[in-house]
Amino acid sequence: MDVLIAERKGVEACRDGRTPFEEVLRHSTVLVIIVPRTADTVNMISLKELEWMRHDAVLVNVSRGDIIDEPALLEALKKGWIGGAAVDVFAEEPATEDNCWLVGNVAKGLNLITTPHTAWAGMATEVELLRMAKENVENWIRGEPRNVVL
């Protein structure tokens, strides 16, 4: 597989190793969104961007919910503009039928997987998290703190 790293949306000149944002959307079969929530990234993926994508593309969002315009994603899935989506984050959490376009009957039958902000919680991750927590406490007790964030 070719892995493309998109340049920021709206940037004219790409940094080394980056591909223009629109080009990544037009060519990717799997698009994984991993960006922070900032004024520049809210609704970064909306109707226009979803229309650019391949009809067989799968969109995965593990960053923040409002990076993707949820009503636009629902429309794109219903109209077959993209092949499917997986989201682990929502504009409002916890996501319910009352506050989210992507859960409940309105999204029933679509090629959409939703998880409640828990996709990170695999068994291997939990084992590693516990190991690191234990190690950090032991190091702190010995007067050798690690992973210190200032």
pLDDT in tens, 52-79: 999 999 999 999 989 999 999 999 999 9
Query: What does the pLDDT read at residue 116?
Result: 87
Active site (catalytic) residues:
64, 93, 117
Alpha-carbon distances of 32 from 57, 58, 88, rounded to whole Å: 11, 8, 11
CA atoms within a 13 Å half-sphere pointing along the CA-CB vector of 61: 28
Q: Write down all domains in the chain, each with its CATH number in brackets.
A: 21-119 (3.40.50.720), 120-150 (no CATH)
Alpha-carbon distances of 6 from 24, 35, 66, 141, rounded to whole Å: 6, 11, 19, 43
- Which tokens in the block code for residue 90? 């929502």
Give 12 or 135, the one with higher predicted confidence: 135
Contact 123, 93 (CB under 8 A): no
Structure pTM?
A: 0.81
Average pLDDT on 5-15 reads 93
**pLDDT higher than 90, residue 1:** no
**pLDDT higher than 90, residue 147:** no
